[in-house]
Amino acid sequence: MARAGMRAALHDEWMRRPSKTSWLSFACVALAASILSPARGSAQRPTSFACKRVLAQDGKSWLEDQFLLAMGTMIFQVRPRRDEEQVDVDFGDAWIVPGLIDLHTHLFLRPYAEKSWDEQVRNESVALRSMRAVRHAEATLRAGFFVVRDLGTEGAGYADVALQQAWKEGIVAGPELFVATRAIHMRGRYGPEPDDPKVEKGAQCVTGIEEILAAVREQQRKGAQWIKVYADYRNGLSGIVSPTFSPPEMHALCAEAESLGLHVSAHATTDEGIRNAIEAGAKSIEHGAGASEETLRRMKELAVVLVPCLTANETIVRNAGHSGPMLDRLNAAKAGFQRALAIGVEIGCGSDAGVFAHGENARELELMVDYGMPADAALRAATVVAAKVLGTNKYGSVGGVSGFIVLRADPWKDISTLRTPTAVYRGDERVGL
C-alpha cells in the first residue's frame, strides 16, 4: 500500500467511525495499514509523546500529565501518563492544543499589498495561481492550521477542488480543505469590470431564481462542499453597499443548497443583507460588521455563527495608510464584533487570509482577544466551534487526524504564543517550521 493510499485508508476509516469508537479498534486499523506501508518500513511502530498539559476535548480545561500515542498521520490514544512511563518524545512543561481551523480563507489569492485583487483576477493565469495556492497551503499548515474552509477561488474556477484532491492523494502538503468553489454573486455587481460581460469575474454571477438554482447545482456537481453567496455588496459608482439578491431569491438559493446536502455561507456587511441571509437559512455570516442588536439576537436564536474576518478589515484599513486612532475609527468590524460578543452570538475563527499573508492566520485570534473575547473562548473559536460549523468530529480536539501544536506558554494567558509554536505535528510526523 503506497503512503498516500495508507493515509486515504486511515482517513476513510476515521470518517466512518462513530464518535465514541474504541481507540483500541482504531489503533489496530492504523497498525495494520502501517505494517503494509513500505514508505516507513516494515517494522514501523507507534510514537509516544508526553506533555504536562493537553487541551480537553471541550476546550474548557487542561488535562494534566498526558500521554499520546500516534502512528502515521493518526493520534489514536490520549490518556494520563503512568508513573515512570517512558516515551519517545517528552515535551515537558508545555501546552498541547489541537490543530487549528480557519473558516474563511482564499488560498488562490495573495496579499493585496503585493498585487491588487483586480490585477490578480484579471491578469494572472489559473495555473500560476494554483502553484501559489500550494505554497499558501504549506504556509497555513506550518502555522498550525490543519483545516480551512476556502470560501471562493476568486476567478480560479474549480481549482480548489483539484487542490483538495491533490492533498487527498498526498501530492501536496497543507490543511484539509472544505471548498466553496466559485461563490455566487449578482450579475453586474462584482468585478473585474462588473458591467462588462466579456471580462471573467471573481465569482459566478447570475440573475433571477432560475440562474441561481442552476449555479448552486453546478457548483455542487463539481465538488462544492459549501455554497458561498454574496448577500450584499457595493453598488455602482457610488460604492454604497446594499443587498444583492431579494429575500425570495435568497430563500430559493438556501433551499436548493439544503436539498443537495450543502450549507450556505453568506458574505454580508449590512443589517438588511445579514437579515436576508439568516432568515433564508444561511449557517454562517462572513464579516457581519453592520448587524444591529436586533439582528444579532436573531442570529443567536437561529444558531447562525458569525465569522468576523477581523484581520482582513485591519489589513485593508492599514493598506489605505491609516494607523493609530484612525484605524480604530474606521474599523467597523471591531464595533460589530463587540456587539455580537455582548449579545452572545456564537463566533468562529475565520481570517480571510489571502487579503493578507497566508500563515499569519493566528492574527485573527489575537484581534478577537484584543477586542474583548476571553482567550480560552478565542481558542475554542478555532477548534471546537469551527469543527461544529464544519459538521466534523475529526477535528477540534486532540486525537485522530486533528494534529497538534506544542506551545511553550499558556495560550489562555497569551494568545500570541500561537504564532510561535515549538512544534507542529500531524500524527507522529513533525511539520517543518
- pLDDT tens for the chain, 433 residues: list them: 344 444 444 444 444 444 433 334 444 444 444 433 444 444 589 999 999 999 999 999 999 999 999 999 999 999 999 999 999 999 999 999 999 999 999 999 999 999 999 999 999 999 999 999 999 999 999 999 999 999 999 999 999 999 999 999 999 999 999 999 999 999 999 999 999 999 999 999 999 999 999 999 999 999 999 999 999 999 988 889 999 999 999 999 999 999 999 999 999 999 999 999 999 999 999 999 999 999 999 999 999 999 999 999 999 988 888 767 666 656 889 999 999 999 999 999 999 999 999 999 999 999 999 999 999 999 999 999 999 999 999 999 999 899 999 999 999 999 999 999 999 999 999 998 6
Both 20 and 147 in one domain: the answer is: no
| Phi, psi (deg, nearest 5) at residue 23 | -60, -35
Judgement on whether residues 331 and 365 belong to the same structural domain of the protein: yes
Same structural domain, 157 and 241? yes
The total domain count for the chain is 2
- 225 and 362 together in one domain: yes
For residues 48, 140, 175 and 133, what is the CA-based torsion angle, rounded to 10 degrees? Answer: -150
Q: Are residues 133 and 20 in the same domain?
A: no
Query: Containing H/E element for 77?
Result: strand 74-80
User: In this structure, are residues 153 and 197 in contact, taking their beta carbons and an 8 Å threshold?
Assistant: no
Total Cβ atoms within 10 A of residue 92 = 11
Judge if 381 and 410 occupy the same domain: no
Q: What domain range is 46 assigned to?
A: 3-98+399-430
Residue position matching grid coordinates 438559493: 253
Give the per-residue pLDDT at 194: 94
CA dihedral 249→254→255→257, nearest 10 degrees, is 130
- 235 shares its domain with 361: yes
One domain for residues 38 and 187: no
Same domain, residue pair 170 and 298: yes
Q: What is the DSSP letter of 347?
A: B
Q: What is the CATH number of the domain that holds 80?
A: 2.30.40.10
State the CATH number of the domain containing residue 225.
3.20.20.140
Name the grid cell of 26.
482504531
Based on the fold, state whether residues 49 and 178 are members of the same structural domain: no
- The grid cell for 292 is 444591529
- pLDDT value at position 5? 44
Same structural domain for residues 329 and 408?
Answer: no
Distance CA 185, CA 226 (A): 15
CA angle 365, 106, 102 (to 5 degrees): 30
Asked if 256 and 264 count as a contact pair (C-beta separation under 8 A), the reply is: no
Q: What is the pTM of this model?
A: 0.90
- On whether both 34 and 164 belong to a single domain, the answer is no
